[in-house]
Chains A and B, each alone.
Chain A
Amino acid sequence: MNSIEAAAVPAGRAAERERFQRERRRAALAQFVRTISTVGIALGLGFVITLFVSDRPIQAYVALLTGPVSSAARVGTWIEDATTLTMLGLSIAIVFRAQQFSLLAEGQLYLGALVAGIIALKLPVPGLLHLAVAVLGAAAAGFAFGLIPGALKAYYGANEIVSTLMLNVVAVRTYDLLLTYWLKPPSAGYTWSNPFPADAVFARFIEGSRINTALFVAAALVVLTWLLVYKTPIGYELRMVGANLDFARYGGINVRRTIMLSMALAGIPAGLAGAHLAMGVHQRLLLNISLGLAFEGIVVALMAGNHPLIVPLAALLYSYLRIGGDIMERTAAVGSDIVRVIQATIILFITAELLVGVARRRRARREADAAG
């Protein structure tokens, strides 16, 4: 770049800016096209695997690809699952933005479900307020629980991966304990609570489908998370801590507080995912309400590049594969482990492609540096 010319011609800068913006739009479009074609290739690869494991491969694969939309009830199941995964994906996206590898979402989900359940069953609040209080309680539980590994990391330097995995066990066992010895009616033949009263559930509003009003909560969370990350000072702090922690500290950001807040704020959507499972999906508390769903949320967040507005799309895609896989397993007699392999192959392919994009940008940058 010739320094004198660039300085002497201010019009040059405007043109340069326009070129940059055009370039950026083009790059975004190219990325989109690439992602779509990767999904296509991944599905093709999945079919190749199916060819090897099924004697009726076409029927099996059609079940995977069209199963989730083959009936209103199945669409409902898909959307319901995507709702939970959206919430969990948002939770992970928040902590990952700040480069904190908190895996607490599972525990936050359990405590959210537990608090929502206790409020639904034991707290006599009138009318619509009952639902609202239960929802707020679940969010608060997730938030408060996140403060613990946050403080441990910020003040004692405790590795959050270890502390959150251990705290998850604490949360799940607490849930089991209270459910078994307190909430389960003595007569019940199964470890579950009584059904929640009608004013403390997410109502199903489409006949013959499990889609419930938590869908709107998830939609609101998507927008709120996006606002939080990109439009508030706290979001700025999260992003700067994630981009370069030393820079954030140098610039005067309270890094400890930000680390704590990232894990706590992530507890809100995770706690609400628990509330959705309790008050929307099952409408009661039961043992093993989630079997590692939060870890599926990590995949969703990764696929979405931790961008809140893309999380629901990733969740819809991922849920589609989950539900389609279930249907393939049931209708075409493909073993569940094989279904998992196919799912994993597809997901691996998509995430790898996204990571390749990142790597390619890194490499281009390194080479530009090396050109010195």
Chain B
Amino acid sequence: MNVVDALIEMRGITKVYPNGVVANDRVDFTVRAGEIHGLVGENGAGKTTLMKLLYGLEQPTDGAIRLRGRPVEIRNPHVAIDLGIGMVHQNFMLVQNFTVAENIVLGLEPRRRGLVDRPRALEIARELSLRYGLQVAADARIDAIPVGMRQRVEILKALYRGAEILILDEPTAVLTPQETADLFKAVRTLVGQGKTVIFISHKLREMKAVADRVTVMRDGKVMGTLPVAAATEETLAQMMVGRKVLLRVAKPPAKPGRPLLRVDDLRCVTETGHEALRGVSFDVRAGEILGIAGVEGNGQTELVEILTGLRAATGGAVSLDGQVIVNRPPRAVRQAGMSHVPEDRLRNGVATPASVGENLIVDRYFAPPFTRYGWWMEAGAVKQTAEQLMEEFDIRAPDSAVPVRALSGGNMQKVVLARELSRWPKVLVAAQPTRGIDIGATEFAHAQLVRIRDWGAAVLLVSADLSEVMALSDRLAVMHNGEIVAVFDEPQELTEEEVGLYMLGLKRQDEIGSLGPRASR
């Protein structure tokens, strides 16, 4: 590569954390002016660390950074901003009860007589928005605007501070397909106006769609940088994981049996008076996966919690293989044959201070062989079961006594899957089963869902990852605003854009009943 046109040049970058973790190992990374440079890799591959070094949030243990040919030392984010580097984090850093304009100018407010000049701030926000084609409602409060717009605010914030180089950390993780398309358009506009964009993602398809060149990282090292035109998703995945990866879910056709989970006119009004579910009805049959797609916050969380006994319904009925399970305690629901992979494993899927073994038995500790004579817990039985499940589900931990907090996200999820699938449930409710885990663990989780389906379980899959639900589901329902607005019997024949229209509430099926679960029985 010609060094002359390199805008950012990171050479021999090594970052060792005080606990001995080598996050970056002699990394060379070059970005050209005016390009969209993709940075891909699994969780823990070192992408975010590398960008933190560039943004001054961390200091490299070794190596040098050159900007426009000159060596620079980026001691902190202020220096980075002065150098024209801006970063949009995965978790937005916005003040919730400030307006969009106030957030954009925060810290660099236009002043008049010592006070913040609000009209001027509004003007600035509108100008920026117009110039870069990033549409925002300048006078709306952050907590009142959708996620996609918050992201645009973050980008404008960086641009207002004079960013020439924008680092976007997993920007699409929270967006719907339409919002993603808008973002890509905006990114291209920015590049058209002379900006440079570094785009971190682990979604290879997005890389193909938006990036000019892509750098692949694995285990803290750069595996290579190549023009996107020369790469396929398969080759990128192989570089990321280090072996051949099955990107498409291998799934024999479903052989649905009798309905195991029946949900009838389920309603839920939350503590805050919000009507989260407005009469949801569907069946899930033995041996099929029913997917539920939808923008998060449209009642999916409440639905899952009610089905698994964690929340009370305010109306409607749920039965599991004929047994009524609505408004029953979690243990009763579980004993009726329910398993649950929760959407936020750190909140309730695992107890991080407890050991792997203790985490694996929370649904069965009270029965033999774990508890004998009603009061004595058999440590040997716990250990034996734990080791067996660790083997079977490939949980990478040195010992069953290791606290779960020492495991990676993927291995934590395997702990959850091991516990929930080894019960051989009649119904499995899996919410966001692959959120925040790497490709290898995702592939594993998908295979497990198909395996339990083929064994004869009814699987309800709720996921915000549209490509995931579409690939895995035998039938697909779309939720919007507490209702099911569409049900499709052949999800593989749909496009994401089509489903997106239903997710956003722009379209709904006129007679869901006729296409819906009742008819397909």
Contacts and interface: CB of A to CB of B under 8 A. Distances in A.
B351 A248 contact: yes
Contacts of B354: 239-240, 243-244
B44 A252 contact: no
28 contacts: A1-B219, A2-B219, A3-B242, A7-B394, A20-B398, A24-B401, A233-B366, A233-B375, A234-B375, A239-B354, A243-B353, A244-B353, A244-B354, A247-B350, A248-B351, A249-B310, A249-B348, A250-B342, A251-B363, A252-B331, A254-B329, A254-B331, A364-B18, A364-B19, A365-B405, A370-B49, A371-B46, A372-B44
Interface in B1-45: 17-19, 21, 23, 43-45
A79 to B, nearest CB: 32
Most chain B beta-carbon neighbours within 10 Å: one of A236, A250, A253, A254: A250
B300 interface: no
Nearest to A365: B405
Interface in B357-403: 358-359, 362-363, 365-366, 371, 375-377, 379, 394, 396, 398-399, 401-402
Contacts of A249: 310, 330, 348
A163 B68 CA distance: 65
A246 interface: yes
B304 to A, nearest CB: 11
A2 B242 contact: yes
Given A247-B348, A253-B362, A19 B330 contact: no
Interface in A239-269: 239-240, 243-244, 246-254
Contacts of B17: 367-368, 370-371
Contacts of B340: 250
Interface string A67-111: 000000000000000000000000000000000000000000000
B480 interface: no
Contacts of A372: 23, 43-49
Interface string B110-154: 000000000000000000000000000000000000000000000
Contacts of A1: 219, 396
For this complex, into which size category does the number of interface residues on chain B fall? Answer: 35 or more
B18 A367 contact: yes
Contacts of A371: 17, 21, 23, 44, 46, 49
Interface in A16-51: 16-17, 19-21, 24
B377 A252 contact: no
A244 B398 contact: no
Contacts of A13: 398
B77 interface: no
Contacts of B396: 1, 3, 6
Contacts of A233: 365-366, 371, 375, 377
Interface in B276-295: none
A252 B363 contact: yes
Given A3-B242, A250-B342, A365-B405, A240 B398 contact: no
Contacts of A330: none
A24 B398 CA distance: 12
A24 B354 CA distance: 15
A2 to B, nearest CB: 7
A232 B375 contact: yes
Contacts of A370: 17, 48-49
A231 interface: yes
Given A6-B396, A232-B375, A250 B310 contact: yes
B70 interface: no
B274 interface: no
Nearest to B371: A233
Given A246-B347, A250-B362, 12 more contacts: A1-B219, A20-B399, A240-B354, A244-B354, A247-B359, A250-B308, A253-B331, A365-B405, A365-B406, A370-B49, A372-B44, A372-B45
Contacts of A11: none
B315 interface: no
Nearest to B370: A233
A17 B358 CA distance: 17
A233 B373 CA distance: 11
Contacts of A364: 18-19
A309 to B, nearest CB: 16
Interface residues of A, number: 39
A360 to B, nearest CB: 10
Interface string A334-372: 000000000000000000000000000000110110111
A4 interface: yes
A244 B348 CA distance: 7
A249 B340 CA distance: 12
Contacts of A234: 375
A240 B340 CA distance: 18
Contacts of A235: 377
Contacts of B334: 252
A247 B17 CA distance: 31
Nearest to A239: B354
A22 B399 CA distance: 12
B243 interface: yes
B171 interface: no
Contacts of B398: 13, 16-17, 19-20
Contacts of B44: 371-372
A16 B399 CA distance: 8
B316 interface: no
Contacts of B337: none
Contacts of A250: 308, 310, 330, 340, 342, 348-349, 362
A251 B362 contact: yes
A309 B401 CA distance: 19
Interface string B288-331: 00000000000000000000101000000000000000000111
Contacts of A231: 376-377, 379
A368 B49 CA distance: 11
B352 interface: yes
A246 B348 contact: yes
B440 interface: yes
Interface string A54-77: 000000000000000000000000
Contacts of A6: 396
B360 to A, nearest CB: 10
A248 B422 CA distance: 18
Given A6-B396, A236-B365, A243 B351 contact: yes
B89 to A, nearest CB: 13
Nearest to B408: A1
B18 to A, nearest CB: 6
Interface string A5-17: 0110000010011
A4 B218 CA distance: 13
Nearest to A228: B375
Given A233-B366, A233-B377, A372-B48, A244 B350 contact: yes
Contacts of A365: 405-406
A248 B362 CA distance: 7
Contacts of B331: 252-254
A143 to B, nearest CB: 17
